[in-house]
Structure 1
Amino acid sequence: MGMDADFDWRGRFLRYLASERQFSPHTLSSYGRDLDRLTRFMALHGPDRIDQLSERDIRRFAAECHRDELSGRSIARCLSAIRSLFRFLHREGVVEHNPALAVQAPKSPRRLPKTLDVDQIGELLELPDDGSPLAARDRAMMELIYSSGLRLSELVSLNQTDPDLADGSLCVTGKGRKERLLPIGRKAVEALQQWLERRPKLASYDEPALFVSSRGQRISPRTVQQRMDHWGQWLGISGKVHPHRLRHSFASHMLESSGDLRAVQELLGHADIATTQIYTHLDFQHLMSVYEKAHPRAQKGKKND
């Protein structure tokens, strides 16, 4: 095994991910950035060729990333990209072993998702109706994310045929191309009806996308983020308003009211219930806050007379 100095390992690997693994452009871009970081490390510290990297080099690379203040999650993603790269190189007969297999990223403190409280949600979703299609579209998008717990990618990929407003249901294709059927709340149904009445002002009859831009084409994730940030600032809501924050709020409020972790897992489309369990920590934080304020022997900094 071995390779010559001109072997384009980065280009070959990314082409493999695009053609055989059919990764999305966004994922390919992330892999490319991680491999560029590895290339810069090799240029500074060696070795010269990818097949000469050792486990010690990979550990040093992870330590350099940590010193550059990359989060544990970002370092873990880099290491995952490198492990995938070496599996590909082994398949190509370039290397004999994978030096990144035993290297682990440092753990980051667990970040709990920021949510909007019920009053903030109410304020955000009662947007003033100026009769324009854009205001109706934005309200419908936000209502639908909060009503059904959609991911941003799921929202923008919706077609007109996906929601059944008479039945109050929505067919969504999530991660791994798995379909799930979700309920749509009454308020979201009303918002969608208002949007669909005004949608012909922006889009042609044969445009399949449910949500379109001002140019009449399927709306982009970036535009959705910008519009929600705009409304959050316009209403003076604390913290940045973005699609994922609405999804987090949906999950937290559902779990707080129902306590049914399995049902929330199904609604969110989480493959692993451990992903959903982060919301139990959010709920517990809320309970602890209430407890410490209300319980006479739990209040901090106060002495009983």
Structure 2
Amino acid sequence: MTQQAPLTRGELLDAWFRHLTHRRGLSEHTVRAYTGDLEDLLTFLGAGPQQSAPVTDALAGLDLAGLRAWLACLDASGCSRATIARRSAAIRTFSSWAAREALTSSNVAARLRSPRADNRLPNVLTPAQARALLDAAAQEAEQAREHAEAAGTRSAEREWATSLRDAAMLEVLYATGVRVSELCGLDLPDANRRERTLTVLGKGGKERVVPYGTPAARALEAWLAQRRVLVSPRSGDALFVGARGGRVDPRAVRGLVHRMAARAGAPDLGPHGLRHSAATHVLSGGADLRSVQELLGHSSLATTQRYTHVTPERLRAVYDQAFPRA
């Protein structure tokens, strides 16, 4: 009888990647994070970094104590509670899958507990700071237009188109509160320019429709009028095109938000901070939690409650309006 070849690190990671992508339908960002978490665990368990390294013995020796030791090591190295909680979730998902695939004898992570979530809110801009950030992007686009008209070169025209794209992405991020992965995944047909709505594909393949306002509409129209300058055969129907002609990369969007925050003199934050700012401002303007939940695409209202907070002024206004003995 021929002995079966041991499972290698590369084969395990490939199978895990396919499961997360095709069976679970997780976002590219989550798949990348969960795959990295498994890689880190395998290294901790002594499975070599080479793709050809065998992992059969490491999986056979996997137990709850080992998983707890791994998490303790992460905590000692300075990982945040949010990171450790995410890695716990990743490995619980992996353990369940590995047991079903007979890669392990049982679901060893079934009793693995995550640390209490860190409920500190991310940085949030004031409405004035958000306006300054968006104005800075618009000013940069205007300066690029003036330079393009004066220079008349292909490179200057590309610089103008890029700055229009950047201004449009920032306006859409703030106007809709979409995640950066959702923004980068938008296609041209997803934008209903007459109704001023975007059809967004969120986590778990869930689709939602979000509105946007006049400033975002103007910025989007200005970008689409110049989109052809950056388009290449790789662009497809991507709404936002990157410098090399393909779909814009989330890292480029994160860099843009950081750069424009610095230019505007606003607190440093990333796209998620802009998303949180948008939700906070919508809530402060009178929206209810359920509406904000729909806007953000949260499956649980509890998640929305963490990412939105009511200002004392708004709480007082609602109380005075609604309570009969205010």
**TM-score, normalization: structure 2?**
0.76
Report how far residue 168 of structure 1 moved: 1.8
Asked if residue 22 in structure 1 is aligned to residue 50 in structure 2, the reply is no
Cα 1:287–1:264 change in 2 (3 A) is: closer
Residue pair 2:284, 2:314 contacting (<8 A) in 1 also = no
1:123 to 108, 120, 132: 132
- Residue aligning to 2:148: none
Measure the CA separation in 1 of the matches of 2:101 and 2:209.
42
2:303 to 248, 252, 275: 275
1:57 to 66, 71, 95: 66
Amino acid at match of 1:267: L
Amino acid at match of 1:109: D
Measure the CA separation in 2 of the matches of 1:82 and 1:89.
10
- Residue aligning to 2:266: 237
SS at match of 2:33: helix
SS at match of 1:161: helix
Measure the CA separation in 2 of the matches of 1:259 and 1:29.
34
- Residue aligning to 1:31: 34
Structure 2 unaligned blocks of 5 or more: 48-56, 146-159, 316-326
Percent of pairs identical after alignment? 36
Structure 1 unaligned blocks of 5 or more: 289-305
Measure the CA separation in 2 of the matches of 1:255 and 1:200.
37
Output one character per residue of 1:12-62: Cα deviation in whole Å (capped at 9) or x when no partner.
432222334426664444334323332343349xxx643223323332332
Cα 1:25–1:7 change in 2 (3 A) is: farther
Residue pair 2:174, 2:274 contacting (<8 A) in 1 also = yes
Equivalent runs, 1:161-200 vs 2, <5 Å: 161-200=189-228
Residue pair 1:10, 1:35 contacting (<8 A) in 2 also = no
Report how far residue 237 of structure 1 moved: 2.0
2:245 to 205, 216, 222: 216
Measure the CA separation in 2 of the matches of 1:122 and 1:170.
22
- Residue aligning to 1:7: 6
**TM-score, normalization: structure 1?**
0.81
1:225 to 239, 251, 254: 254
Instruction: Tell me which moved more, 172-181 or 139-148.
Output: 172-181
Instruction: Tell me which moved more, 158-167 or 93-102.
Output: 93-102
Amino acid at match of 1:226: G
Amino acid at match of 1:87: S
SS at match of 1:283: coil
Amino acid at match of 1:277: Q
Measure the CA separation in 1 of the matches of 2:278 and 2:217.
16
Measure the CA separation in 2 of the matches of 1:202 and 1:79.
41
SS at match of 2:107: coil
Cα 1:279–1:287 change in 2 (3 A) is: farther
Measure the CA separation in 1 of the matches of 2:65 and 2:107.
12
SS at match of 1:172: strand
Output one character per residue of 1:46-92: Cα deviation in whole Å (capped at 9) or x when no partner.
xx643223323332332222222222232233333333333344334
Instruction: Tell me which moved more, 98-107 or 33-42.
Output: 33-42
1:81 to 82, 90, 98: 90
Report how far residue 287 of structure 1 moved: 6.7
2:79 to 52, 70, 77: 70
Measure the CA separation in 2 of the matches of 1:243 and 1:32.
23
Residue pair 1:17, 1:28 contacting (<8 A) in 2 also = no
Q: How many residues of Structure 1 are paired with residues of Structure 2 in the alignment?
A: 282
Equivalent runs, 1:105-116 vs 2, <5 Å: 105-116=114-125
Computed over aligned residues only, the root mean square deviation of the Cα atoms, in angstroms, reads 3.0
- Residue aligning to 1:299: none
Report how far residue 171 of structure 1 moved: 1.7
- Residue aligning to 1:202: 230
Amino acid at match of 1:104: R
